[in-house]
Amino acid sequence: MTTASVTSRDLPHPGRDEIRIAGVLHALADPLRLRIVQQLAADGGELPCSHFDVPVTKSTSTHHFRVLRENGVIRQVYRGTAKMNGLRRDDLDDLFPGLLDCLLAAAARQAARLAVG
């Protein structure tokens, strides 16, 4: 079941056993969301929403983060006034071993290929 909100500031997240591959793929099937995940993976920790330089409106950006959260790809926590985002690597690696790294490698490979020439 979805983790119940302890306070009104807690954002709902799917439990590990609620994460589905179709949902993870849907969340990552967007170039902007994939880029956010690449940056989170590279950082290895938590990053505030403001860290990401995205060429879209705030509301669109919020939507993208929500899609990632609702599909179990990221964890969002309020720390003070900032909403911190972290990759749910532990859950994803446990459910789908190697998948995250494979997807990130594929995205990096494509970026390199398209950047040439």
Q: Which residues would be at the binding site for a copy of itself (CB under 8 A)?
A: 20-23, 25-26, 28-31, 34, 95-99, 102-103, 105-107, 109-110, 113
The nearer residue to a copy of itself, 64 or 83, going by C-beta atoms, is 64
Provide the minimum distance between the beta carbon of 50 and a copy of itself in the complex, in angstroms, as a whole number.
24
| Residues in CB range of 14: below 8 A, 6 or more apart | 2, 23, 70, 71, 72
Largest Cα span, the chain: 52
Q: Which is nearer to a copy of itself, 49 or 95 (CB)?
A: 95
Q: Smallest distance, Å, CB 30 to a copy of itself? A: 6
Conformation bin of residue 5: beta by default, left when phi > 0, alpha when psi is -120 to 50: beta
Q: What is the nearest approach in angstroms of a copy of itself to the Cβ of residue 8?
A: 32
Do the bridges between strand 82-87 and strand 46-48 make them parallel or antiparallel, or are there none, so unpaired? antiparallel
Q: Which is nearer to a copy of itself, 35 or 51 (by Cβ)?
A: 35
Q: C-beta of 79: minimal distance to a copy of itself in Å?
A: 30
Structure tokens at 53: 């330089």
Closer CB to a copy of itself, 78 or 111, in the complex: 111
